[in-house]
């Protein structure tokens, strides 16, 4: 672990750290906000997964979340969205390759050599955080767009590891939309049964042993709403299975960080209550 940024922020510290990931086979950067309460003892952790084209920087510089994390004593952890490095496979465009890991464990060459973001977020990252920072074992997870997809899938598949989950503008049914179909075909191959493990709507439609309530924030003026996000598919599946879900459709808001910044405070309060319960 090597600290490469440190900024005093709302009585705490916004930092960026670099470490070698054994799971991804490359160096990774993570944003870590330590609230002022972390000076006195362990704090709960909210993991934030960012969307397509993002790094660890987008959330920590645009969302304004540190103010609320400081108020509620929450550590914010923001990993990069994909493996990086000269040896890591990439592709033309923004929706495959670096910056577009989709939080899956790739099975297709050449992606399978490095693109194991699911294992990284579920196992390696929390182990690293809890060993390196004053973090307790209370975890929550959230994210935006591709990261919202990742947060929902990870929480649904690992409900005992997290106290709560939420998402902003998530890709809720990647098996049924162009972004997801392209990514899943590339990373996982043609077997749609393998896709279902990374599809929140498919997971909710299956028999789940435990069910974390889902909190979804969605702008009605989001340019990707109709053809890429389709939150109504998850809502219908959840209601059919008795899965608790709250879908907030916000008039006038789009897909940007202006939207996230407008409601991130409410989400941090939501997670703070769950992690202190």
Task: Provide the annotated active-site residues.
Answer: 145, 222, 255
- Greatest Cα pair distance, the chain, in angstroms, is 51
Instruction: Name which of 66, 36, 35 is nearest 48 in CA terms.
Output: 66
* Integer Cα distance of 26 and 87 in angstroms: 8
Task: Return the number of other C-beta atoms located less than 10 Å from residue 14's C-beta.
Answer: 21
- Other C-beta atoms closer than 10 Å to the C-beta of 154 total 24
157 three-class SS? helix
Q: How far apart are CA 192 and CA 198, in angstroms?
A: 10
Query: In this structure, what token pair is assigned to residue 242?
Result: 């008795």
Name every residue whose Cβ is closer than 8 Å to that of residue 267 and which is 6 or more positions away in sequence. Answer: 142, 166, 168, 215, 217
């Amino acid at each position: 672990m090597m600290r490469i940024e440190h900024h005093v922020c709302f009585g705490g510290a916004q930092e960026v750290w670099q470490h070698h990931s054994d799971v991804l086979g490359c160096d990774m950067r993570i944003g870590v906000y330590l609230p002022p309460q972390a000076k006195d003892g362990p704090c709960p952790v909210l993991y934030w997964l960012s969307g397509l084209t993002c790094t660890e920087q987008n959330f920590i510089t645009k969302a304004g979340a540190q103010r609320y994390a400081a108020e509620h004593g929450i550590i914010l952890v923001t990993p990069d969205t994909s493996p990086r490095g000269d040896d890591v496979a990439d592709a033309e465009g923004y929706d495959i390759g670096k910056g577009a890991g989709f939080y899956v464990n790739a099975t297709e060459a050449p992606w399978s050599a490095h693109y194991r973001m699911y294992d990284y977020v579920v196992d390696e990252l929390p182990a690293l955080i809890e060993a390196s920072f004053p973090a307790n074992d209370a975890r929550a997870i959230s994210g935006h767009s591709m990261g919202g997809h990742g947060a929902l899938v990870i929480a649904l598949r690992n409900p005992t590891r997290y106290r709560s989950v939420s998402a902003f503008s998530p890709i809720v049914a990647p098996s049924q939309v162009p972004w997801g179909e392209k990514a899943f075909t590339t990373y996982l191959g043609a077997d749609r049964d393998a896709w279902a493990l990374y599809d929140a709507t498919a997971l909710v439609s299956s028999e789940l042993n435990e069910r974390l309530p889902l909190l979804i924030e969605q702008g009605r003026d989001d340019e990707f709403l109709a053809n890429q996000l389709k939150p109504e598919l998850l809502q219908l599946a959840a209601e059919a299975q008795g899965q608790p879900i709250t879908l907030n459709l916000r008039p006038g808001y789009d897909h940007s960080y202006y939207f996230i910044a407008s409601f991130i405070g409410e989400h941090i309060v939501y997670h703070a209550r769950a992690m202190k319960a």
